[in-house]
A and B are shown apart, each in its own frame.
Chain A
Amino acid sequence: MKVLAAMSGGVDSAVAAARAVDAGHEVVGVHLALSAKPGTLRTGARGCCTIEDARDARRVADLLGIPFYVWDFAERFTEDVIETFVGEYAAGRTPNPCVTCNEKIKFEALLEKAIALGFDAVVTGHYARLRIVDGVPELRRSADEGKDQSYVLASLSAEQLRHAMFPLGDSVKSEVRAEAAERGLMVADKPDSHDICFIPDGNTKAFLESRLGRKPGKLVDAKTGAVLGEHTGIHGFTVGQRKGLGIEAPAPDGRPRYVLALEPVSGTVKVGSAEDLGVRVIEGDRATWPAKPLDGPTECQVQVRAHGGVAPAVAVADGEDRVRVELREPLRGVAPGQTLVLYRPDAEAGDLVLGAAKITGTRR
């Protein structure tokens, strides 16, 4: 096949591209330039995808003997990922920008361009297992439980998955690093990337404040309605958050308080106890189904954030677009805006992704 390898300059995408070459595919490497700050006479400064990363990717492509190009997706990234991220926080939701980037940039903007240019698939260094069985995608957790990225890929459509290749799915990270070293790729020891690429200092709160300004509001006890304090904007909070609430007086029962809900119109942050945080029902929309929508109530495990655990539940599809999940036990820290992913446990082959949806609401 003719495949386009998205090469970030890191070790994972480097080994993924190398494996695609070994598998006999015709591979072209592309580094996505995702950030462009306007300069005076020249646009050059790059915040997240640095010149060094582009150079590392280029050197890997040199060693693999594949053509390499840098493509500018800065405008699409700004519109589809950064603006969405800011807008979601402003609306009191908690977005996952990596999910958006996979949905809108790597497997939409890049994939569509690749297909139009004559490629069959986009190859990335994600840790997830993907097989296409009779045209139906089977997306499973990675062999490396700690690195598994099936969560951030689960909301890709079946059509997107049919044109994706994840050559690292059966490997663990240490193997990938060892293989990079063996292949002589200079990125073998490059540190893992963390946090959000367009917020290099990791201070999400400051980034959001610089974009959204200060929008003071009240911190309110969810049960009594008593005002417990002031805050500078709901975008500084996430459902389930405990630290940094800025409440001086301790709770009457002396136990920690958590963010239960965010109300964007009034700018109210509702807080309460750990028990109040637990939800039994999760609702989502914008559902995607790698194979087909759920057929009646389905026993499954749900995951509600990128690095969170799973909880047993029964899920029901409401049409093609909506999902409703009833949990066996109350689950804490379920934030609207995050992705709800449904898995069917499979210790042998890896948990299978049944579907995914964007969390719209919860009920106790």
Chain B
Amino acid sequence: MTSTQRPARSAYLDHAATTPMVPAAVAAMTQALSEVGNASSLHSSGRRARRMVEEARESIAEALGARPSEVIFTGGGTEANNLAVKGIYWAQHKENPARRRVLVSAVEHHAVLDAAQWLADDMGAELALLPVDAEGRVSPQAVRTALEADPDGVALVSVMWANNEVGTINPIAEIAAVCAEFGVPLHTDAVQAVGAVPVDFADSGATALAFSGHKLGGPYGIGALLLTREAQCTPLLHGGGQERDVRSGTLDVPAIVALAEAVRYAVKELPDTAERLAGLRDELVRGVLAKVPDAVLNGPRLDGDRLPGNAHFSFPGCEGDSLLMLLDARGIECSTGSACTAGVAEPSHVLLAMGVDPRHARGSLRFSLGHTSAKADVEALLAEIEGVVERARKAGLTTRRAGRVRT
């Protein structure tokens, strides 16, 4: 490492954790922050705020193939996922107590996985994990098999649109069609998908779809659940009933306005951005594999169903935390997986579900590109990765002992 100070310019390769707000969203939010008005108030300030919210709702609905009434604003992606998983389960179970099973893919984000686990632990639900293939994909056939095992007992299926770690895009429309055959609602966590790949709620056939503002150029602390009008969903938050009586809480007008700007921008720019990022990503992947020939690209092939900005590798013999620290010291910011409160990198449940050897899973890094990524970011990584891996490998040898598998 050259200095404990951050290098002047850092190569930010962690857009899947959060991506910078787009200028239009910053401008819209800043403008709205200086105005007063509770969107539920009946006077003219309230009506003005309400109008901003409804225009934002319509704009988001149009961009994502939903009806305005299907957009339920939440305090972020985690809340939207919790609302869908718990709320739909509760409503389904209440309508028919025989519906106790929740089918969830093994590679879901913790916002879905832990919500479903909680239903099993504390609410009497039965959790079944849907298997994935070696690329992290859920097959419609796997969903069918799980549904056929107990067609009347399933309350909810939840399969993410795109995986946050390895970037796998699932065949959501096909999975939704299978669920529809059995009359079971499908929720999809589209936090990584919206703004990155085309998402059309109506065409997908999903019952519910969650997304988050700060992953697509909007603000933190705002997200939405798209929920079909006929779907039954018990609220998590009770109160004023602001959002279709499914979600309560005073609407965050500036964040909602900024979210709409960000969605509009991301969807409009999507074809160009996706092509540009895929090009950069391919350069990054080929460059890393050329510099570190035994590195393994996890997830789908580059020409497969993969998020355009996602690259995810295992570096055999290295520990992820060593790699991360060495790259960080050189101004290159990436992730060992999804961020965790204590900051300890556990072997990823996503990689383990894909059948990756736990030893390799520990030595994994995710590089994710976004709307501000440039060629220089990729070049900065490629200039350092070989030396960093070599050094991390030496450190890896010290923490691993011969003949013992560390899991």
Contact = CB atoms under 8 A, between A and B. Distances in A.
B398 A113 contact: yes
Q: How large is the interface on B (under 10, 10 to 19, 20 to 34, 35 or more residues)?
A: 20 to 34
A71 B346 contact: no
Nearest to A117: B395
A48 to B, nearest CB: 13
B267 to A, nearest CB: 33
Contacts of A314: none
A65 to B, nearest CB: 8
A51 B342 contact: yes
Interface in A30-54: 31, 33, 36, 40-44, 46, 51, 54
A109 B344 contact: no
* Chain B at the A interface: SS class: helix
B321 A71 contact: yes
A116 B342 contact: no
Given A2-B1, A26-B4, A40-B117, A117 B341 contact: no
Contacts of A76: 399
Given A71-B321, A113-B399, A118 B342 contact: no
B4 A109 contact: no
A76 B401 CA distance: 10
Contact of A70 (B3, B343, B406): B343
Contacts, number: 82
B113 interface: yes
Which of A33, A44, A46, A113 has the most chain B CB atoms closer than 10 A to its own CB? A113
B326 interface: yes
Q: Give 9 nearest A-B pairs by CB, closest first.
A: A116-B395, A112-B398, A70-B343, A116-B394, A26-B4, A72-B344, A113-B395, A117-B395, A33-B344
Contacts of A67: 4, 325, 328-329
Contacts of A31: 343
Contacts of B397: 116
A246 B113 CA distance: 52
Given A28-B325, A41-B114, A113-B322, A66 B342 contact: no
Contact of B342 (A54, A109, A113, A117): A54
A67 B114 CA distance: 31
Contacts of B1: 2, 26, 28, 118
30 contacts: A27-B4, A28-B4, A31-B343, A33-B344, A41-B110, A41-B114, A41-B349, A42-B110, A42-B346, A42-B349, A44-B340, A65-B5, A66-B4, A67-B4, A67-B325, A69-B321, A69-B325, A70-B342, A70-B344, A75-B406, A76-B399, A109-B399, A112-B395, A113-B398, A116-B394, A116-B395, A116-B398, A117-B391, A117-B392, A117-B395
Contacts of B3: 26
B345 interface: yes
Interface in A111-147: 112-113, 115-118
Nearest to B113: A41
B289 to A, nearest CB: 24
B399 A69 contact: no
B326 A117 contact: yes
Nearest to A70: B343
A115 B395 CA distance: 8
Contact of A117 (B121, B322, B340, B343): B322
A27 B344 CA distance: 20
A66 B4 CA distance: 6
Contacts of A115: 398
A201 B346 CA distance: 27
A69 B343 contact: yes
A58 B4 CA distance: 15
Contacts of B121: 40
B120 to A, nearest CB: 9
Contact of B341 (A41, A51, A71): A51
A6 B92 CA distance: 51
Interface of B: 1, 3-5, 110, 113-114, 117, 121, 321-322, 324-326, 328-329, 340-346, 349, 391-392, 394-395, 397-399, 406
Given A41-B114, A41-B117, A109 B343 contact: no
A4 to B, nearest CB: 10
A54 B325 contact: no
Contacts of A33: 342, 344
A147 B346 CA distance: 36
A28 B328 CA distance: 11
Contacts of A27: 4
A76 B395 CA distance: 15
B324 to A, nearest CB: 8
Contacts of B391: 116-118
A183 B114 CA distance: 41
Contacts of A118: 1, 326, 391
Contacts of A44: 340-342
Nearest to B326: A117
A217 B328 CA distance: 57
Contacts of B345: 72
Nearest to A114: B395
Contacts of A70: 342-344
A2 B328 CA distance: 15
B395 A72 contact: no
B3 to A, nearest CB: 7
A43 B321 contact: no
A118 B4 CA distance: 13
Nearest to A58: B343
A202 to B, nearest CB: 24
Nearest to B2: A26
Interface in A82-116: 109, 112-113, 115-116
Contacts of B395: 112-113, 116-117
A248 B323 CA distance: 62
A74 to B, nearest CB: 8
Contacts of B344: 33, 36, 70-72
A67 B392 CA distance: 17
A69 B336 CA distance: 12
B117 to A, nearest CB: 5
